[in-house]
Each structure stands twice: as structure tokens, then as C-alpha cells.
Amino acid sequence: MSLLLQRTEFGNPANVGRIWTKEQCNALLQEWVLNPKLRQHMDQVGHLMEQWAIQKEGANEATASAWYMAGVLHDADWDQWPDQHCKKIIEYLEGQEIDPTVIRAIASHGPRHFGVMPQSRMDQMLYALDELSGLIHAYSLLRPQGYTGMEVSGVKKRLKEKTFAANVSREEIDEACSIANLTKEELIEFIVQELTSMNQ
């Protein structure tokens, strides 16, 4: 059962710009995330966030690193402390004096669960890329070539099949696309492209 955070302010504004390196993020994941499938999902979302920031938002290196950190750590506490998701990771990062924009993005990646609506572009895209990438990954596991040659139409067909990847909320995907002002087609095309290159 997800835990409502019961607050909408996170971190200290004085810590803006305090971002971990990829090595520091991975060190925490080695300790906290023992499930390789969950770790793969988090790595994928981190990659997607970083590449969206660079390619679509014109982000500099520091901003792209913040987006990566939000993506790769968003489910860090789910494996060992599901009853504290995502309260534990947020409090941990606050204790580490991490940039509040990263912490808020993590807090808003499931607004129906945590009660925090995405506001910044980083918030919006973490919500949008998280759920949809999970369904696309499930689809890749059914295909002999994985992501290679995957088409938007094939993903959309799977989206309509309520029994396929039934744990992936179609309602949340629709809501996330609306909040981010993007079509599902745009998001699917980007995710497939990036996960194809990531897995080559």
C-alpha cells in the first residue's frame, strides 16, 4: 500500500545544485535495490530522463544530471521498504542535502498514490516516462528482437489490452500525457528509440 506523503514541500532551497554523480546514485542502488528487474526499470527511467532533458529540453550537463538522478532513484525504496515508498527515499535525500527539485520530482512520480501533483517539467516527465516505459519493456520481452523494430502501433495495441501488463495503469498514462502536454505517440516513439539504443 502506497503512503501519502501529506506534504508538498521537499528539501531545502539552499541545496539547489547539489546533485550526485552517477557513481553515487549507483552506490545507493547497490545497497537498496536487490531485485534486478526493478533495478533495470530504474536504470531505464534514469536514461530516459537524462536523454529527454538533453534532446527535448536543451538541458546543460548539470540539469541533465538532476533529471537522471530523479529517474534512477525514483523507486529506490520500493524493493526493501514498499510500505514506506516513496517516503523513505525522500527523507534520505533530504538528509543528504540534495537539490529540492530532484526530491520533488520523485515525490510527484505517482500523484494518485503520494498526493503530490507534478509541476516542473522534470516532475511531469518522470510521471510520463515511468509508467509507459514499464509497459513498453514488458512488450519487448515478448518480441524475439526485443526493442529493435518495435512500432508505435504495436505498443498502442498492447495499451488497449487491459490484461497485458495489467499492473500498469492506463489511466495514469493518460493523465501523465495530459499533464506533460504530449501525445502517447510522441512518448512511445521516444521511449522505443532510446531503449533500443540503450540495449544495443
Model pLDDT for residues 15-34, shown as the tens digit of each residue: 999 999 999 999 999 999 99
Q: Tell me, what's the pLDDT at 1?
A: 41
HSE, CB side, 13 Å, CA atoms: give it for residue 77.
17
Share of the chain above pLDDT 70, in %: 98
C-alpha cell read off for 56 = 527535448
- With bands split at pLDDT 50, 70 and 90, how would you rate the model's confidence at 154? very high
Model pLDDT for residues 54-83, shown as the tens digit of each residue: 999 999 999 999 999 999 999 999 999 999
Decide: residue 113, CB within 10 A, 0-12 exposed, 13-18 middle, 19+ buried: middle
pLDDT, the chain, mean? 94
| Residue for grid cell 527511467 | 45
C-alpha cell read off for 106 = 520523485
If we measure between CA atoms, which residue out of 33, 62, 40, 39 comes closest to residue 50?
62
Q: Tell me, what's the pLDDT at 3?
A: 58
Can you tell me the mean pLDDT for 24-53? Answer: 97
- Given a cut of 50, whether residue 2 has pLDDT beyond it is no
Can you tell me the mean pLDDT for 125-138? Answer: 95
Compute the distance between CA of residue 180 and CA of residue 120 in angstroms, rounded to an integer.
10
Model pLDDT for residues 172-200, shown as the tens digit of each residue: 999 999 999 999 999 999 999 999 999 87
Share of the chain above pLDDT 90, in %: 88
If we measure between CA atoms, which residue out of 54, 133, 134, 65 comes closest to residue 102?
65
Other beta carbons within 10 Å of 144: 6
3-7, 49-53, 56-60, 129-133: segment of lowest average pLDDT = 3-7
Can you tell me the mean pLDDT for 11-18? Answer: 96
- With bands split at pLDDT 50, 70 and 90, how would you rate the model's confidence at 6? confident
Q: Tell me, what's the pLDDT at 199?
A: 82
Can you tell me the mean pLDDT for 76-99? Answer: 95
Compute the distance between CA of residue 60 and CA of residue 179 in angstroms, rounded to an integer.
24
Q: For the chain, report the end-to-end CA distance as a whole number of angstroms.
A: 36
